[in-house]
Amino acid sequence: MQNKVKKVVVAGGGTAGWMAAALLSKTMGRTVEIVLVESDEIPTVGVGEATIPPLMTFHNILGIDEREFMAEVNGTFKLGISFQNWRQNEHEYLHSFGYAGKDCWACSFIHFWLAGKKQGINHPYGDYCAEILAAREGKFAVLPKGGMNYAYHMDAGKYAAYLRRLSEGWGATRQEGKITNVNLNPETGDIESLNLASGELVAGDFFIDCTGFRALLIEGALNTGFEDWSHWLPCDRAMAVQTESLGEPIPYTRSIAHDAGWQWRIPLQTRVGNGLVYSSKYLDDDAAEQLLRNNINGATLNDIKPIRFRTGTRRKHWNKNCLALGLASGFLEPLESTSIHMIQRSLIRFMQLFPSFGVQQSDIDEFNIQNKLEVERTRDFIILHYKVTEREDSDFWRYCKHMEIPAALEQKISLFRDSGRVFKIENELFGEESWMQVMMGQGIEPKSYHPIADVMSDNELEDFLASLRKSMRTNVDKLPSHQKFLDFYCKTKS
């Protein structure tokens, strides 16, 4: 009981810090003191504006009202990500959050679709997915009983401010100050306190490192170590800028591949977030900035913000009495909008293993085992986009196409190419449908399909597929435009 965690100190603000403060104060604020230390002098990276559907789980825990939240953060809805020029120049596909068709107990819908193609039924796979159809047509609505799978585009700075307001309402305390030193217990090596530039000392029982790329606690003080993944994900630079909106916001993120990386476009209600992710080995900074300027629409609303990073992860995300979140824990480029999700997953896993009566090594080990698996599988999904391509028109794409990849990813690709099968393992973020949509979008068509798809007669299969297309078409035809729904549901206050 002497080691009971009575005070948690969150070092750093931004999205990661205030997500941690919000969850802890909402769920444990009556029994644990929550203090967040941040400095107004240190800007946050704050360019991540796209999310994936599991964020709703986090919001449900916090009791967040979706309409209020969306209005506060200048939010729009996201049905998926459009990938342009990834397979080859001028080719485009959409990785949606939806599920195509109807599965059976033995196999997924794709096997019936492949059987139909063999029979000459050549409708695109997306015709069987409401989210893909709706995205293409700029339609959206929040439907009852989860009838539409979606996520959000939002202003990350406003999201952090929104969570701060909630956190402080639930009892969390914000301490203004710049961290100058991290003090360790000379016997245990645990973190005991933080020195601030003001001379104040902030002590605690447990510390959450949200200090961004600096990683002052997990790396600067605890020397946890870093696993470099840049040989698989060679992009190491980004530039970000906001532009004015020139039209109605589309309900999906755009990812546009270039000769040495890719560009994002994320529509909010009143502006657009833009950025270029690239490899400095294949494109210098000046050329990258010019490329970005040449490929944005509308007047810029701020200066272009350069960001340097190294793709990889801390060897441990939980070390001694310190948990690393967000950029402090490592970096996976935002190709599939996983950054905020990884913060959420680490927080929820930490809460499940919360060290109420003192930090135990068994809890640390279990957290890191589970976390490592999830991070590595997410990494593999991102590598997939680079590896499986028909592009060889630049040095960058030639490197990506021919590079060696992790064995687990190689097996996943081979299995799908041979048989159309995909299996999700425990703690894996992306499900079978996501893997299938991306692998087909990148150019893999399975050589065979499950024989159960041939149990139907030709006429039965044709009727089955036609009925699915009709059902999807009917549902999407009823939807309002994305803009009309935003105006009705959550028009921003700004």
Give 382's pLDDT tier (boundaries 50, 70, 90).
Answer: very high
As a whole-number percent, the residues of the chain with pLDDT over 90 amount to: 95
> Domain 7-49+155-228+311-359, CATH 3.50.50.60 — does that match?
yes
State the span(s) of the chain assigned CATH 3.50.50.60.
7-49+155-228+311-359, 81-142+237-306+382-494
Which pLDDT score, from 0 to 100, does residue 47 have?
59
Residue 362: other Cβ atoms inside 10 A: 8
Is the pLDDT assigned to residue 488 strictly greater than 90?
Answer: yes
Dihedral of the alpha carbons of 290, 292, 296, 300, in degrees to the nearest 10: -80
For 302-317, give one letter per residue: b (16+ CB within 10 A) or e: eebeebebebbbbebb
- In sequence order, what are the beta bridge partners of 94? 82
pLDDT mean across residues, the chain? 96
Condensed to tens digits (0 to 9), the pLDDT of residues 211-255 reads 999 999 999 999 999 999 999 999 999 999 999 999 999 999 999
Is the pLDDT assigned to residue 427 strictly greater than 90?
Answer: no
Q: What is the mean pLDDT of residues 17-30?
A: 97
Is the pLDDT assigned to residue 434 strictly greater than 80?
Answer: yes
* Helical segments of 241-353, H only: 285-294, 339-352
Tell me the whole-structure pTM to 2 decimals. 0.96
Residue type, 317: H
> Distance (Å, rounded) from C-alpha 350 to C-alpha 346?
6
Q: 81-142+237-306+382-494 falls under which CATH superfamily?
A: FAD/NAD(P)-binding domain (3.50.50.60)
**Is the distance from CB of 347 to CB of 208 less than 8 angstroms?**
no
SS3 of residue 44 by DSSP: coil
**Is the distance from CB of 99 to CB of 129 less than 8 angstroms?**
yes
Which pLDDT score, from 0 to 100, does residue 144 have?
87
Q: What is the mean pLDDT of residues 373-397?
A: 97
Q: State CA 30 to chain mean position distance.
A: 31
